[in-house]
Structures are given as structure tokens and as C-alpha cells.
Amino acid sequence: MTNTLEIKNLTVILEGRDKAPLKIIDRLNLSLAPGEILGLVGESGSGKSMTALSVMGLLPPGVRISQGEIFFKGRNLTALTPEKLRSLRGLDIGMVFQEPMTALNPVFTVGRQVAEVYTAHLGLSKKQAWQEAVTMLGKAGMPDPARRAGHYPHQLSGGMRQRVLIAMAMALNPALLLADEPTTALDVTIQAQILALLGQLVQEEKSACLLITHNLAVVAQMAQRVAVMYAGRLVEVAAIEQMFSAPLHPYTQGLWACLPAQARAGEKLPVIAGTVPSLGEVPPAACSFAPRCPQALDLCRQAEPALLNLNGDRRVACFLRHQERK
């Protein structure tokens, strides 16, 4: 069976006016099987959101794919015309963003915005599309969907607005759902509801889902596999149980250890020294984490470790781990 999404050697750059281009994503390889939820984890500036935007062909001005391919069900998205790509978005690829207020149009009712998916992609009449929209809003857990469909975004709570976005994204049973921080702006009890809803819909429709978040606990709840990005590069990919029982990369280990949930109350948390490098600060021919790594060798500052397969689907980009396995 072909993978739903196959990202091959993707490099994304930011072009400066008179400066050398900066790498935002550096030779990323990632695949997503049908029905799978892959958590893509990283801190701000790691390139995780840009990965989703690359897939959708929605990179901001000045940012472009300089190298690599993105295959969606075997079709190379990077070779498609913008028109072809637009017809895929919403039909075969759904998207859910972090801030549901800015992703919705404030001057149209939410019912109309969901209905638009059906008129635009399936050519349904306005009346049929409205009916479908109400049904879909109901599936997305909207209470009293027939009435709520007539409401404007500002009349709904943050959680309700996120349900509208999920209804729009899942309306046509997309093969791929891209969810970028879907619950970050929500309260915890609402977050739990939205996560459960996303999990249920993805399972019912057998969609593949790329779940982008900085919240490791959200990934633990939702995903089967997790990929960790640091400064534009993948540093570790593993099945969820493996990653949460024993992370291998020193960055992943540090990230896991500094969570308050892992420590005793009132005690100092173990920290990763320093800060995430900004664009252009990443050493080109070295491990990007070496300047902050407590275990770094001389080798780590002189060459870049490849993302090697250790066993099965477990991949890690660290010379220390590579040497241990020899």
C-alpha cells in the first residue's frame, strides 16, 4: 500500500534580499501511512509548521522549497500547478489551525462556511450543502447544530469555533488531515473534548493525520508515532511507546526530563542549557544540537550525523547512539 504522505529530502529556504538564503527545513524525510497519526514535535522555530505549509503549498512569500519532493498518494505535490493543488486542499487534504478566530471569516455564518466546502468541491446546491453542513457540524460535536449553523464566529466560544474548523476539514473525508496546534488556544477540559473528537473522526474516516504540537502530552494521547524536529532537522523518529519510555537523542532526552510532570513538586527541574538557535545560527556541517548538548563529542562539531535506522522504524540522528550500536 502506498503511503498517504511521503516527504523526501525536503529543504525549505527563506530568501533574503541581499543575504544568503537561510534554511528553515533541512533535508526532511517523513512518511505517513493511511489511518496513522504522526506527532510532529518541536519548539518554536524548529520548522514544524513550515512542514505543514509546504505540504499544502501555502508557504509565505519569500519562503520556497529549494529541494526535495512531497508525494501525496503517490502524486508529486511539488510538481502540481497552484490550481491543481487548490482543488486537493479541502477535498483530499484537510487542515485545522491553532487560532480558530482568525481562520474563520467573521462576516459569514459558520454554516455557510462549512457549506462552501460542499458547493466548491462537490457542486451541491446551496440548500443541499447547508443540510450537509448541519449534519457535519453535528458530527463534530456541535450542540444544536441546526441553530448554531446560523451563528457568526464571534457568537461562538473558542471550543465551538474549533469544532467548526474540524467540521470544515473533515467534511469530505480527506485522506490526509494536517492539524497545527489544534488545541493550544483552548481550555484544558475543552482540549480533552477536541482531542477525543479528532481521534474519533480520524479513526472513522481512516485518514492519515499529521499532528503538529509543542505539547508532548498531546502527542502521547493521540499519536502512534512521533517525530522530533530541532532547528529545521529531524533528530529522532520512533513509535510512541519507545519514545516515551526511552528517548535516545540528547535533545529529546532533555525535553522529556524538563517537564514538571516528571519531577517532584518544588524541586529544580533539569534544564537544557542555552536557547534554540535562530535561523542562520545553525552550524552547517555539524550536529545542530551540539552547542547545547551535554554529551557532545568533537566529532559532533565537525560533521552532521545522519538520521539512521537503529531497529525497525526507530531513527535517530546522533553520533553517540550510532557508535553504541556498532
Partner 1 sequence: MPLLRLENVSKDYNVNQGFMAGRGIRLSALAGVSLTLTPGQTLALVGESGCGKSTLSRLALALERPSAGRVFFSGQDLNALSPRRLRALRTQMQIVFQDPATSLNPKMTVREILSEPFIIHNRKENMEEEIIFLLRAVGMAPEQARLYPHQFSGGQRQRIGIARALALRPSLLLADEPVSALDVSVQAQVLNLLLTLKEQFGLTYLLIAHDLSVVTHLADRLAIMYLGKIVETMPAAALESFAGLHPYTQALWRSAPSLTPGRKPPPLTGEMPSPLAPPSGCRFHPRCPEALSLCAREEPALQEIGPGHFRACHLEARL
Choice from 175, 228, 255, 296 touching partner 1 (CB under 8 A): 255
Residues 275-314, interacting with partner 1 (CB under 8 A): 275-276
From 11, 34, 33, select the one nearest 21 (Cα to Cα). Answer: 11
Q: How far apart are CA 167 and CA 253, in angstroms?
A: 37
Which value, in Å, is the radius of gyration of the alpha carbons in the chain?
A: 21
Q: Nearest approach, Cβ of 39 to partner 1 (angstroms)?
A: 10
Query: Which residue is it, cell 448541519?
Result: 134
Choice from 254, 307, 315, 320 touching partner 1 (CB under 8 A): 254
Residue 235 interacting with partner 1 (CB under 8 A): no
Residue 165 interacting with partner 1 (CB under 8 A): no
Stretch of residues binding partner 1 (CB under 8 A), selected from 12-20, 47-55, 270-278, 303-311: 270-278
Choice from 91, 124, 220, 286 touching partner 1 (CB under 8 A): 220
Q: Which is nearer to partner 1, 28 or 211 (CB)?
A: 211
Q: Calculate the CA dihedral of residues 97, 99, 104, 109 and round it to 10 degrees.
A: 120
Q: How far is CA 11 from CA 4, 139, 248, 277, 281, in A?
A: 20, 38, 25, 18, 17
Choice from 17, 127, 268, 326 touching partner 1 (CB under 8 A): 268
Q: How far apart are CA 32 and CA 37, in angstroms?
A: 8
Half-sphere exposure of residue 102: CA atoms within 13 angstroms, side-chain side:
4
Residues 181-200, interacting with partner 1 (CB under 8 A): 187-193, 195-196, 199
Q: Which residues bind partner 1 (CB under 8 A)?
A: 43-44, 143, 157-160, 187-193, 195-196, 199, 214-218, 220-222, 240-241, 244, 254-256, 258-263, 265-266, 268-272, 275-276
